[in-house]
Structure 1
Amino acid sequence: MTTFSRRGFLAASAAALAISQFPRTGSAQQHALDLRATSRTLDIDGKAATVWGLAGPPGQGLVLDPGQRFMVNLTNELPTPTLIHWHGQIPPNEQDGVPDMPMPMLAPGQMRGYDFVATPGTHWMHAHIPLQEMRLLAAPLIVRSPQDITGDRQEVTMFLHDFAFKSPEEVMEEITGGHSSGGHASMGHGEMSGNRMPQMDQSAMPGMDHGSMPMAGMEMDLNDYNWDAYLANDRTLSDPEVVRVERGGRVLLRVINASAATVFWVDTGAVDARLVAVDGHAVQPVKGSRFGIAMGQRLDMEIDLSGSGAWPMLALREGARERTGLILATAGADTAKIGSTADEEAAAFDTDLSQELQLVARDPLPPRALQRSHMVMLGGGMQPYRWTINGRTWGEHVPVTARTGERVEIMFHNMSMMGHPMHLHGHVFQVVEINGKRIDGARRDTVFVPPMAMVTVALDAGEAARWMLHCHHMPHLETGMMTEFAVAA
């Protein structure tokens, strides 16, 4: 029997009204929700910026009840064709939201209906067109579980973006123009940056195209563009969102990294958190106050607040001083001004995969004999700005293959000097090996593969169709770092 405390009742009531400032939508009724790809205006440190977004009723994003189907009518109100991918969901392939794979983009003014069983957890949705995602055409997609309804906690979403006043086309021109000088994250706008990586022996690392083979003594590049602003729920720290919380309450902080090209550390400051889920899938709780999150990934963290006060939840750009975030505060608490730059640069994220090694799935894949395995080589470099999978870019790619129902392992072997968050559509995989060490790791849909690392994931091949497999760093994707996971019947 479930007993509701006063705190639990208040938390459930608050969650029924809002998750942070993102909307609660729908009810047990199975009727289609309206979602609009549209433009909007943000205030970025006092300067107006026109961006794109996904407006549900009544604001950015969607939240579904336990058991509620994903029934959505998507209308394109933008002046250009678009299509939305439901990141973390497993829809029928024709509803997956990749242009011409197999459905065409939505023309301006066109509407298309979607209807499939929703996967619970912290997910998101975004244009599967890199330059459009760089215009902030993305929003949270939260599918609540029965445990969320009965849980004694208030739900708060933190949606992270990087932002430039320049157009995505101008940003890509700067990035691909080869402005790298091998320096560090304090370099000027549009230039490359990197942190020194120890010299490594590549003599036993075959299979890469020579143009992308790293050489001893090269630097690891963390950030290949310095953005104008870093946003949490569309706001900077000059005017952060303040979320009112109950004195002594428990918070479930859902963090979504929707940035185009920025890895963040999420820092809970003076209060410890328990990491309880990644990419919408439960893990054995891991206690800490700083967890990293790559592009496309999600973190669910439980935080117990003591007494009254204000608690900044900060997102720190890896290898740099910039930061963003929001503030949890009880009624009447003072919220001190927080600068948008820290005193020190944040470290590089998980270069040794120590965070990933700590994660253990609470819902692991059932044991089965392995039927197919692939090694997928990740390569590329800054000059020329070309990023590859198995030495090829999209259009010249060779699919990674499987048959429906097969147990498949894919080893990602990164031979480049940048980390790559690798996302597979239409499937949930489990991390089963890191740098040769077998583990019972997290279940995910996006895994970060740092330079020179090897990460193996296992999955059961799903619907017979062409599913995208790509890097979720948008400039990498824009320049062709994508292949397909081709599943045959």
Structure 2
Amino acid sequence: MNRRSFISSAGALLASKSLYAALPMQNMQSSSSSHGKADHTLRIEPCTLEISPGVTVKTLAYNGQVPGPTLRLREGVPVTIDVTNASNDPDIVHWHGLAIDSLNDGAMEEGSPMITPGTTHRYSFTPKPSGTRWYHTHAAAYDNLSLGTYTGQFGFLLIEGREQPAHYDQEINLAIHHWEPSFVPMVETMREQSSNSPLTTGSDVGYKYATIQSHRLGSGEPIRVKQGQRVLMRLLNASATENVVLALPGHKFTVIAMDGNPVPNPKSVEVLSLAVAERVDAIVEMNSPGVWVLGSTLPKARDMGLGIVVEYAGKKGTPVWRDPAPAEWDYTQFANTVASTHAPDETFVLTFRDNGPKPGSKFDTWAINNKSWPDIDPLMVESGKRYRLVFRNGSGDQHPMHLHRHTFEVTQIGTKPISGLMKDVINVMPLDTVEVDFVANNPGDTLMHCHQQLHMDYGFMQLIKYRG
């Protein structure tokens, strides 16, 4: 079973209630819960969310809330999580950033089972590594923008290890999401609203609203802080397709971890960039009393709601926004500036391109080395060896590349060699090249893909398979 087969087998069902209706039932069976009570339970169900006064969105969520419940697990301690699907479509949960087995990882391309409506599936795994991970649906959406990561199916997954990331007085988890998606031409007006800034035209997804946590800017409770506090902010971009750039006037973010992994060179910056699915852990020193806006650097994005108020104790008034100084986002500033000392055993050069729409489709097909999922051969690896993936972006779009079940080391961006920066998502800018290394230390089918839902649905995926 695969995403592309949905289109070829469903045909006219593309506009119907569910693309999954065209799939063989034996591929959709979800295993029943094992005996005994699970450690955690999640329920996929319809949810009506009031994101600002008088503005509601209807979506799917976990346990009727957005984000879903924060799951705190202990590294190395086995856990069971029961997921009940109370929606009308088959679904699946991906445990993003964990080095677990393929069956429990939550990607149907790896063999994880879909959860049919009205059934409960038990995930059983031992969480590792520690750090800020997250969980979300890994279902396809295609032209149905009420499914997949366009919905409210996401939540923080915090894996606690022996050591704290840093000293802090308050912890705040902030998830970003965009709402009311629609297909729009990628014209100049759309580019002005999008942090993706694509260089090409074509069909894309636009949004009406944006939230941090579950509210638009100015709605919901502010972040309340005290002068002198050190606040740990965990920021997650849970959008389906939109990259974001954030600032908090009068303050700096000391980045201590990316995608849950400590950075070699913690550094203070005024602006944070988060591609789809990326996480940043940052310490913010609360040393500028007032009422501020933590939000997008784009005015139109803040108008959509992408922001939240930060209020110091004893301070009132209209929240203040000040544009930060222009700054280019540069991963290399958080890494070691020397090349990795580990040579790869093998290198895969992967070129990404937009192949345009297929006959009868208005959506572009994405290709890796001129082949699209599922008509693309897997990359074959051997356990214990080190592999270099050279991501060559031959398109005008940004691509947040995600590798399942493994963490990779970023070894070069453009012409600049670096080392020590460990991630599971890396944003590859238009016409740029990024190199990453991973050790094949977790046997089993492993999915690699662009995390933008529209790109993933239309071919931008490839499997990595272990030999033997």
Same fold (TM over 0.5): yes
Equivalent pair of 2:90/2:117 in contact (CA under 8 Å): yes
State the distance in 2 between where 1:334 and 1:275 align: 28
Mean Cα displacement is larger for which, 326-335 or 425-434? 326-335
Residue 299 (str. 1) matches residue 319 (str. 2):
no
State the distance in 2 between where 1:338 and 1:130 align: 40
Equivalent pair of 2:408/2:437 in contact (CA under 8 Å): yes
| Residue equivalent to 1:207 | none
Cα drift, residue 38 of structure 1: 1.9
| Residue equivalent to 2:234 | 254
Note the residue ranges of structure 2 that are not aligned, 5 or more in a row. Answer: 1-36, 142-147, 358-362
Mean Cα displacement is larger for which, 116-125 or 445-454? 116-125
Mean Cα displacement is larger for which, 37-46 or 376-385? 376-385
Cα drift, residue 316 of structure 1: 3.8
C-alpha RMSD over aligned residues: 3.3
State the distance in 1 between where 2:393 and 2:450 align: 11
Alpha carbons of structure 1 residues 186 and 100: separation in structure 2 relative to 1, 3 Å: closer
Alpha carbons of structure 1 residues 282 and 465: separation in structure 2 relative to 1, 3 Å: same
Cα drift, residue 374 of structure 1: 0.2
Which of 133, 137, 149 aligns to 1:127? It is: 137
CA offsets 1:211-259 (integer angstroms, 9 cap, x no match):
xxxxxxxx35699333101110011114144122233211010000010
Secondary structure of the 1:255 match is strand
| Residue equivalent to 1:269 | 249
| Residue equivalent to 1:153 | 169
Cα drift, residue 343 of structure 1: 8.3
Equivalent pair of 1:193/1:224 in contact (CA under 8 Å): no
Residue 243 (str. 1) matches residue 223 (str. 2):
yes
Secondary structure of the 1:440 match is strand
State the distance in 2 between where 1:479 and 1:97 align: 19
Residue 61 (str. 1) matches residue 100 (str. 2):
no
How many percent of aligned residue pairs carry the same amino acid? 24
Residue 399 (str. 1) matches residue 378 (str. 2):
yes
Cα drift, residue 326 of structure 1: 2.0
Size of the aligned set, in residue pairs, is 416
| Residue equivalent to 1:285 | 266
Equivalent pair of 1:38/1:77 in contact (CA under 8 Å): yes
State the distance in 2 between where 1:240 and 1:433 align: 42
Cα drift, residue 418 of structure 1: 0.4
Residue 42 (str. 1) matches residue 44 (str. 2):
no
Alpha carbons of structure 1 residues 313 and 321: separation in structure 2 relative to 1, 3 Å: closer
Cα drift, residue 49 of structure 1: 1.5
| Residue equivalent to 2:465 | 486
1:250-399 mapped onto 2 (5 Å cutoff)? 250-283=230-263, 284-306=265-287, 308-316=289-297, 322=303, 324-334=306-316, 336-337=318-319, 355-360=330-335, 367-380=341-354, 385-399=364-378
CA offsets 1:61-91 (integer angstroms, 9 cap, x no match):
3331544544312221212211010111111
Mean Cα displacement is larger for which, 460-469 or 307-316? 307-316
Cα drift, residue 318 of structure 1: 10
Mean Cα displacement is larger for which, 477-486 or 40-49? 40-49
State the distance in 1 between where 2:190 and 2:83 align: 42
1:6-45 mapped onto 2 (5 Å cutoff)? 32-45=39-52
State the distance in 2 between where 1:446 and 1:223 align: 24
Secondary structure of the 2:454 match is helix
Equivalent pair of 2:339/2:417 in contact (CA under 8 Å): no
Alpha carbons of structure 1 residues 65 and 365: separation in structure 2 relative to 1, 3 Å: farther
Q: Which amino acid is 2:437 matched to?
A: A
Alpha carbons of structure 1 residues 381 and 338: separation in structure 2 relative to 1, 3 Å: farther
TM-score by length of 1: 0.77
Cα drift, residue 278 of structure 1: 0.4
State the distance in 2 between where 1:380 and 1:387 align: 5
Cα drift, residue 183 of structure 1: 5.7
Alpha carbons of structure 1 residues 285 and 267: separation in structure 2 relative to 1, 3 Å: same
Which of 205, 208, 229 aligns to 2:209? It is: 229
Residue 408 (str. 1) matches residue 417 (str. 2):
no
State the distance in 2 between where 1:311 and 1:180 align: 32
TM-score by length of 2: 0.80
Alpha carbons of structure 1 residues 321 and 329: separation in structure 2 relative to 1, 3 Å: closer
| Residue equivalent to 1:443 | 422
Note the residue ranges of structure 1 that are not aligned, 5 or more in a row. Answer: 1-29, 197-218
State the distance in 1 between where 2:203 and 2:331 align: 21
| Residue equivalent to 2:22 | none
